[in-house]
Amino acid sequence: MAVLAMALGAPLGAPWGLPLVASAADAPPPLIPLAAQVSPGQGTFTLPAGAVIGVPAGDAQARFAALQLADLVRRVRGLDLMVREGRQGAAITLALQADAPVAQAEGYTLEVTGGGVRVTARDEAGLYYGAMSLAQLLTPEGAPGADQGPVTIAAQAIRDWPRFPWRGLMLDVARHFQPLDSVKALVDQMAAHKLNRLHLHLTDDQGWRLEIKHYPELTKVGAWRTPPSVGPGQATPPYGGFYTQDQIRDLVAYAAARHVTVVPEIDMPGHGQAVMAAYPKIGVTGARPPVAVDWGVNPYLFNVDEASFTFIQTVLDEVMALFPSTYIHVGGDEALKDEWKASPQVQARMRALGLKDENALQTWFIERVGQYLAAHGRRMIGWDEILEGGIPPTATIMSWRGIKGAVDAARMNHDVILSPAPTLYLDSLQSRRNDEPSGRLAIVTLADIYAYDALPAELDAEQARHVLGGQGNLWTEYMMTPWHVTHAIYPRIDALAEGLWSPKDRRDWRGFLARLPAQLARYRHLGLDAADSAFAVDFTVEGGPNAALADGAATVALSNQAGFGVIRYTTDGGAPTPASPRYEAPLRLTLPVLLNAAVFSDTGQRLAAPRRYELSAEALRTRQSGELAACPEGEMGLRIPLTPDATTRGPVFNVNLFDACWVYPKARLDGVTALTVQAARLPRNYGLAHDAVKVRSHPATTPNGELVVRVDGCDGPVAATVPLPSPAKAPVQFPLTARLPAVAGEHDLCLTYTASIHGPLYAIGSVSLQAQP
């Protein structure tokens, strides 16, 4: 109980989020996560301010769950509830009960009658989850300004339990360090969503984030990097941070009180550059590299000698002392074998062990670590690459390269966790909108995550028993601030939670959308800045911008990604309100005009911030970075920020790391005399490993390279060439204007940078065509 006592002293004021449970006085709609069983009752119950939540005397867990419930209802509904021991006079009771109707682990019963509410469970986690569901019942969606005061809920009986025991979320704190308060806030939100595993990615090439007493250089050196700079005279102070052991103990206790297990990941044998920066003898070559500033795959591997295993075991001893989790994640992904192949000592070791190749050596390496963990009562998890040399006998597999690794391992009687890219990679963008922040350009929508099922259809019933569950992953190469993390997670976490908790046959996408406005309102009350990408208005011009330019008018259709909500709009420059005209059919508008639109729920709650679409000649001739197409031989793979370790939001650019080339498709060139590119010079901080040979070089004719504009595609004639300014003198963002020859009609414009591929990475923020008045 010492862990619980520590956590009970923690503040209850951190932001939170819930898998939705909506209710109404007449009939309760399905829950999110959808409950296993819901039975409507007769009548309603009204909970007034000052009502009592009763808990058994001396039951610290029940009291903690009740305090959490009261805090959430106060913050969201403005309704003050009292927590006290005993059932006398209590409107709500929470209690553990050995014979509670739900026998499944983490399950609960929630009963609402005309006389009050009772939550029971056989274990503490179930009681907590029942309290979280009740918090949602007590905070339904209402009209704006009408969600305060007493609340009436329908009589009902809920019997609920999870589909999967592992309901996880991975947070990468190695690439961009996350403050402890932000991690605690995420724990609050996970617990309210009934997610129960926080996988903390603590080490990678770009940083070591955990204090290890025996090896202090890991945080003194390995926790800090000097970001790359491409600005003239620009200072780049060290970036980084780490958690002390006391902070980790505090976090683990805080999470345990909320029934979230923190699972640490210490990456090996690859992704070890920060280790080698601190202790080079642990590496294969003995060389001391800097802590990496390059994202991607870097070459540094752990050695396979006894000194390296002594280091690993000593680190794991301290990790196990800090994290009581049964599972310890050891990575095993993206370990380039080049250093092992080039090392005579490693090759000799491999021969002595009778191993056929470096993949088998990795399996031996990982299994040796797994056996050490098993000897201490722990279990090892590794990414699916550890299967490549034969599956380590002690391994649980976390499958990220699709589901094949999980299927193969489950068929060999190993436990598995599904976490496939891109579907469960939350650093993927949520839409193709220009206002999306940085991230991977593989679009993963709210609907994509909702549709995902963590139980592979390829497995039979016996093999399926090895599927522990699933996990969403948030890698932070392009998530520089807590705001980015929040934006990437919410509300997609609601879809993730329902998929991992609820019975598959009861899930319903349209019903989920109908229940989501209540959750978005909770986020707003709690100061949680959730992404609105699924509901934001999209504008489609009939015939495209060129048709509007030719006609001097446009027919504009409004929609949103989810196909949900009421769209309202204005054409006078004002922000839409619930009283603004309702969109019913495409709008016929005369240029110039500024169209603003927003989406509202049926009760008038705004579901997405207003978006604007400018219908003017200048705007219709401009393409933002995200509206440019990839060149024929490539694709835009990333949306990246101006600087890799920015602490505030800034401009972002769609890029192809292998080719500095973009296409402005179907440019209407009638009367166009010039184009202006808003250019940017970015750090080329990407570890491409064996893919580096794919980077395409375009020959330059001036010292710093040029912007080359071609007409009719990237093999067409050169229309203009503009020299790039000196990186030593020019700012990181600058305009480039090119005069164009007189050309009529629509033509694809290909824009290519010829700067050296060993220097900065040049990007395009926007391209604007200038026409004669």
Residues annotated as catalytic (active site), given as ranges: 204, 271, 334
Are the C-beta atoms of residues 309 and 368 closer than 8 Å to each other?
A: yes
Helix (H, G, I), strand (E, B) or coil at 20: coil
Q: Which two tokens stand for residue 421?
A: 């890219």
Are the C-beta atoms of residues 258 and 244 closer than 8 Å to each other?
A: no
In which residue are the tokens 């600005």 written? 231
Q: Which helix (H) or strand (E) holds 730?
A: none
Amino acid at 96: L
In this structure, are strands 116-121 and 92-96 parallel, antiparallel, or unpaired?
A: parallel
**Per-residue DSSP letter, 51:** P
Helix/strand number for the chain, H first, E second: 19, 39
Instruction: For residue 727, count CB atoms less than 10 angstroms from its CB and return exposed for 0-12, middle for 13-18, buried for 19 or more.
Output: middle
Cα 640 to Cα 576: distance, rounded to the nearest angstrom = 31
Q: Which two tokens stand for residue 202?
A: 């603590």
Cα 340 to Cα 347: distance, rounded to the nearest angstrom = 7
Are the C-beta atoms of residues 678 and 650 closer than 8 Å to each other?
A: no
Degrees (nearest 5) of the Cα angle 546, 547, 552? 100
Cα 651 to Cα 647: distance, rounded to the nearest angstrom = 12
Are the C-beta atoms of residues 696 and 659 closer than 8 Å to each other?
A: yes
CB atoms within 10 A of CB 635: 13
Cα 499 to Cα 515: distance, rounded to the nearest angstrom = 15
Radius of gyration of the chain from its Cα atoms, rounded to whole angstroms: 28
Cα 177 to Cα 219: distance, rounded to the nearest angstrom = 12
**Per-residue DSSP letter, 608:** E
The dihedrals phi and psi of 71, each to the nearest 5 degrees, come to -65, -45
**For residue 133, which of 69, 188, 70 has the smallest C-alpha distance?**
69
**For residue 475, which of 678, 271, 619, 321 has the smallest C-alpha distance?**
271
Amino acid at 551: D
**For residue 647, which of 169, 225, 178 has the smallest C-alpha distance?**
178
- CA torsion 435→438→444→445, rounded to 10°? -30
Dihedral sign for Cα atoms in the order 182, 184, 186, 188: negative
In which residue are the tokens 């690993």 written? 312
Alpha carbon of 139 to those of 133, 147, 191, 616, 760: distances in Å? 10, 8, 17, 44, 51
